[in-house]
Amino acid sequence: MEDFRRKARLVAGGHTTEAPPTLTYASVVSRETVRIALTMAALHGLPIMAADVMNAYVTAPNKEKIWTTLGPEFGSDCGKKAIIVRALYGLKSAGAAFRSHLGECMRNLGYKPCLADPDLWMKPEYDPSDSFKYWSYILCYVDDILVIHHQPEDVIKMIDKYFPLKPGSVGKPDMYLGTKLREITFTNGEKAWAMSPSKYVQESVSNCVKHVKANMSDMFNLPKKAINPFPTDYEPMEDGTPELDAEHASYYQQLIGIMRWMVEIGRIDIDTQVSMLASHVALPRQGHMSAALHIMAYLRDHHNSRMVFDAHEPEIVKSDFKKYDWQEFYRDAKEALPPNMPARGRAVDLRLYVDSDHAGDKVTRRSRTGYIIYLNSAPIQWLSKKQSTVETSVFGAEFVAMKHGIETVRGIRYKLRMMGIEVDNPTYVYGDNMSVVTNSSKPESQLKKKCNSIYYHAVRESVAMGESLVSHISTDKNPADLMTKTLVGVKRRFLVSKLLYDIYDDHGIAKQ
């Protein structure tokens, strides 16, 4: 779908059948897991190969009991009843049937599903060349397969015995989930994997330009130049322009969906603006449409970007993170560790940068939470979201954001451990509000506003159990500031350049 091609198939009319949810649910590997796996491949120096299963669904046996009446295209058998034994495209259970069939293949190859993500398949391996022990991964996104192994060709050949693979799809990964996936080399010789959504962005912008010219040119157009995602001083929540008609509102919703996917595949620099506009999909106005087209114009002018999953160990000044005795305040607080952690390979560090924009919504006065989570030096998770409650102080809004970020990191720590990745150190949390940092890290600090007690104790208990440590960072250097405010100028350029490559410079990557 990365180039917006359309396919035609003779499919079953699955909408006429009734299948229970247990037969229809089919999950795929999460994007977060993909980012973690790419980072670990670079950390362990393991090659990656990709493959695409040919005619995926019809390779699986059908899970439903379905029959049909043959049509005239079957010649002399026309009118006869036929039992469908394969998971035809169109059947509600086809996706789940193929996933189950693929799972049997993985188990026969000695792989087992990760307990934190059942579409990541794991197998203990070692590289004979240096006796390095690690976990081999197979990531399954429907019929798209990524193999991380010291000899991925052998694994691909074994999978090909179970499922016919498209010949042109086997090899080093190129396009994955709408992004160009490529191994890059830093000037120091170290390697990492990078995702670039440039092709998807350019195709999306091109389609947008065509649609606007054909259907909306009397009302809207893309600006000729867009340095920033939003027009200067634009506030979506205060927009009082006329409401869009049904046709234009439907297209606005399409644009938001397209841009949300861009954020998922790496365009972290537009997350805040897209999140703000997404709050108005139920009743969009003309000003919202103009702002959405302004973002598309910005993407047209800045389509080239790469998110690099750099596995280098980050520079953490551990003396900035003070440790105290919490025994009198949170007695016996201890991080809950799963009993079946299959640790194998090198350990990693986690960092959380968190921020909030107090009362940023001028209408509801709700604040915005923003955070970015790094695995070593690779961004693996990010968020820009309006908070669900109104906080009366900056202190409260910052504590809400930090509690949300720490809860997310807690899930990531569990996932890493279930993926066989060692997490020995606490998560290093950076915030730019000194009051919150002090109240989070010093046991003797007292809470004066009882309305913030839940967030206050949730964060402090995380610190007390050794799950996280909190330190202060200047707001000018906090990348999470990009996730809460519509920044412009030098500060925006500085923070974006810390997250994405190729928009402004080459970041010391060797020319490929």
Question: In this structure, what token pair is assigned to residue 302?
Answer: 């800045």
Q: Are 165 and 53 in contact (CB under 8 A)?
A: yes
Question: In this structure, what token pair is assigned to residue 483?
Answer: 């996730």
pLDDT at 239: 96
pLDDT at 504: 76
Q: How far is CA 64 from CA 21, 71, 96, 128, 361, in A?
A: 12, 21, 11, 45, 50
pTM of the model: 0.94
Q: How far is CA 419 from CA 46, 77, 205, 343, 412, in A?
A: 16, 52, 37, 8, 10
Nearest Cα residue to 222 out of 282, 293, 171: 293
Nearest Cα residue to 137 out of 411, 266, 150, 128: 150
Question: In this structure, what token pair is assigned to residue 268?
Answer: 């972290």
Q: Are 333 and 461 in contact (CB under 8 A)?
A: yes
Question: In this structure, what token pair is assigned to residue 108?
Answer: 């026969």
Q: Which amino acid is at 371?
A: Y
For residue 314, the 8-state DSSP code is: P
Cα gap 231→290, rounded to integer Å: 9
Cα gap 138→201, rounded to integer Å: 28
pLDDT at 451: 85
pLDDT at 498: 93
Q: Output the tens digit of pLDDT for each of the chain's 512 residues.
A: 445 666 666 788 888 888 888 888 999 999 999 999 999 999 999 999 999 999 899 999 998 888 889 989 889 999 999 999 999 989 999 999 999 999 999 999 999 999 999 999 999 999 988 889 999 999 999 999 999 999 999 999 999 999 999 988 999 999 888 899 999 999 888 999 999 999 999 999 999 999 999 999 999 999 999 999 999 899 999 999 999 999 999 999 999 999 999 999 999 999 999 999 999 999 999 999 999 999 999 999 999 999 999 999 999 999 999 999 999 999 989 999 998 899 899 999 999 999 999 999 999 999 999 999 999 999 999 999 999 999 999 999 999 999 999 999 999 999 999 999 999 999 999 999 999 999 999 999 888 888 889 999 999 999 999 999 999 999 999 999 999 999 999 999 999 999 999 987 655 555 44
Cα gap 456→440, rounded to integer Å: 7
Cα gap 432→222, rounded to integer Å: 36
Measured between alpha carbons, how far apart are the two ends of the chain, in Å?
26
Cα gap 452→390, rounded to integer Å: 12
Cα gap 483→490, rounded to integer Å: 16
With b for 16 or more beta-carbon neighbours within 10 A and e for fewer, the 268-277 pattern comes to bbbbbbbbbb
Nearest Cα residue to 384 out of 487, 238, 258, 290: 487
Can you give the length of the chain in residues? Answer: 512
Three-state DSSP string of 281-293: CCCCEHHHHHHHH
Residue ranges in 166-314 assigned as alpha helix (H): 198-215, 246-264, 271-278, 286-301
Residue ranges in 318-393 assigned as alpha helix (H): none
